């Protein structure tokens, strides 16, 4: 009797293990990694929400090769050391096919050696530092235009479209800000303008009165704000309080609707560069905007749009044979691979960059982002 009981128990265990393995095999797992807390995580939260929406749609349509898409979340709190810790932890999970993230360029730079050692593809929706794709990590891709491209467009907006010649730059002292700063320093004289002010700030800084006072005294007529949306909002409000009425234009990190919520009337009339227009009326884009905003009751921006594109792009790449980490990297690097997403055509060059992708311009009018179409460049 005892032997029969043991035999039956062993058979039951094998059945459960087999069922569990079959269940796991019916899922395709990836990771979404970024800053996910309310204090620093507007980008990460929006990325995760858009990911959830894309997965819901894909799974309702039959999944990927008949398998269900699913994901896990890693909160790197926007700190490089925590990004490395997340990469080390997730690298032990052999089921993770790829990573959607990180949000911060500095986090990606720190964590990429760990991801590469594990052979895990990393696809970022938001990294813009030009140097990332020059570090030689063959497993890294991003679907957003880098800072060299975006700052060039920001400068053309300020100088060619709006006609300002006496510029200033204020930039966050991070990998993200340094990349934009270098592009601004190089590009300003090339367009026949002058950089009369050049100031950095720490990511935790909240008071910009000294920088504003310097810009005002130097006769600056347009400020390039090269940082994040919260700092941008504070800079706009403090500029008005100090009587500084120069035109202010912001980089893509400023293009969150949260910026307008924080700045209020101070945001009126400012411009930002963005990889996605939340007013796009084309069918595919309009469907995404409506679905996201109906589901989450908030405005969506480029962070969500890029994350949404990555999920659908990964689906296409998997269906083209990218069913393992190594094969997925190979497919994404193929010269014939491209994906027509809501943020534009995604086609990677040899560095994992989308070198042909351009950014858009948005203007705050009546308390909301509106489409601005340049006519001079």
Q: What is the CATH number of the domain that holds 227?
A: 3.40.50.2300
Give the pLDDT band (50/70/90) at residue 308.
very high
Provide the whole-model pTM: 0.91
Domain range for 305 is: 25-144+282-346
For residue 7, being part of any structural domain is answered with no
Residue 19 pLDDT greater than 80, yes or no = no
140 with 206, same domain: the answer is no
Read off the tokens for 169.
Answer: 């730059």
Give the pLDDT band (50/70/90) at residue 41.
low
What would you measure as the largest C-alpha separation in the chain, in angstroms?
Answer: 95
What pLDDT, on the 0 to 100 scale, is given for residue 376? 96
Q: Average of pLDDT values for 212-235?
A: 97
Q: Average of pLDDT values for 28-38?
A: 93
- Read off φ and ψ for residue 298, nearest 5 degrees: -140, 160
Count: domains in the chain: 2
246 with 286, same domain: the answer is no
Measure CA 104 to chain center. Answer: 8
Given a contact cutoff of 8 angstroms between Cβ atoms, the answer to whether 176 and 156 are in contact is no
253 with 324, same domain: the answer is no
> Of the candidates 224, 241, 243, 221, which has an alpha carbon nearest to the alpha carbon of residue 232?
224
Give the pLDDT band (50/70/90) at residue 26.
confident
Residue 24 pLDDT greater than 70, yes or no = no
152 with 232, same domain: the answer is yes
79 DSSP assignment: -
Q: Which tens digits make up the pLDDT trace of 245-288?
A: 999 999 999 999 999 999 999 999 999 999 999 999 999 999 99
User: Which of the residue ranges 3-12, 146-155, 168-177 would you say has the lowest mean pLDDT?
Assistant: 3-12
Helical pair 80-90 and 105-117, crossing angle rounded to 10 deg: 30
R_g of the chain, CA atoms, integer Å: 23
Does 123 sit behind a cis peptide bond, omega within 30 degrees of 0 on the bond before it?
no
Question: How high does pLDDT run on average in the chain?
Answer: 93
Q: Which tens digits make up the pLDDT trace of 327-348?
A: 999 999 999 999 999 999 999 9
Give the pLDDT band (50/70/90) at residue 10.
very low
Given a contact cutoff of 8 angstroms between Cβ atoms, the answer to whether 28 and 70 are in contact is yes
152 with 258, same domain: the answer is yes
For residue 8, being part of any structural domain is answered with no
DSSP 286-351: HHHHHHHHHHHSS---HHHHHHHHHHHHHHHHHHTT--SHHHHHHHHH-TT--EEETTEEE---TT
Q: Of 308 and 8, which is predicted with more confidence?
A: 308
């Amino acid at each position: 009797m005892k032997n029969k009981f043991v035999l039956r128990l062993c058979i039951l265990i094998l059945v459960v293990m087999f069922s569990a393995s079959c269940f796991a095999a019916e899922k395709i797992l990836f990771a979404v990694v970024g800053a996910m807390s309310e204090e620093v995580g507007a980008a990460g939260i929006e990325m995760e929400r858009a990911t959830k929406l894309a997965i819901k749609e894909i799974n309702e349509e039959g999944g990927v090769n008949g398998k269900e898409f699913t994901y896990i979340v890693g909160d790197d709190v926007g700190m490089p050391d925590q990004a490395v810790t997340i990469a080390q932890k997730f690298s032990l999970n052999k089921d993770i096919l790829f990573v959607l993230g990180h949000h911060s360029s500095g986090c990606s730079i720190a964590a990429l050696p760990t991801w590469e050692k594990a052979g895990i593809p990393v696809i970022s929706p938001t990294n813009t530092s030009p140097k990332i794709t020059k570090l030689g990590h063959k497993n890294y891709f991003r679907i957003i235009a880098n800072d060299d491209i975006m700052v060039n467009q920001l400068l053309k907006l300020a100088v060619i479209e709006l006609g300002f010649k006496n510029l200033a730059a204020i930039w966050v002292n991070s990998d993200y800000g340094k990349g934009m700063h270098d592009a601004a320093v190089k590009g300003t004289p090339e367009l026949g303008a002058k950089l009369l002010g050049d100031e950095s700030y720490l990511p935790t800084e909240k008071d910009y009165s000294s920088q504003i006072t310097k810009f005002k005294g130097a006769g600056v007529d347009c400020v390039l704000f090269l940082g994040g949306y919260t700092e941008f909002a504070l800079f706009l409000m403090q500029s008005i309080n100090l009587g500084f009425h120069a035109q202010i234009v912001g980089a893509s990190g400023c293009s969150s609707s949260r910026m307008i919520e924080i700045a209020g009337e101070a945001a009126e009339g400012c411009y930002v560069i963005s990889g996605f227009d939340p007013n796009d009326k084309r069918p595919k884009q309009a469907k995404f905007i409506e679905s996201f905003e109906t589901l989450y009751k908030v405005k969506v921006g480029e962070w969500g749009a890029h994350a949404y594109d990555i999920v659908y792009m990964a689906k296409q790449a998997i269906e083209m044979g990218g069913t393992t980490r190594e094969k997925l990297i190979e497919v994404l690097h193929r010269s014939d691979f491209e994906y027509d997403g809501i943020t534009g055509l995604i086609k990677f060059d040899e560095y994992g960059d989308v070198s042909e992708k351009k950014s858009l311009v948005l203007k705050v009018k009546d308390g909301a982002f509106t489409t601005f179409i340049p006519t001079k460049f």
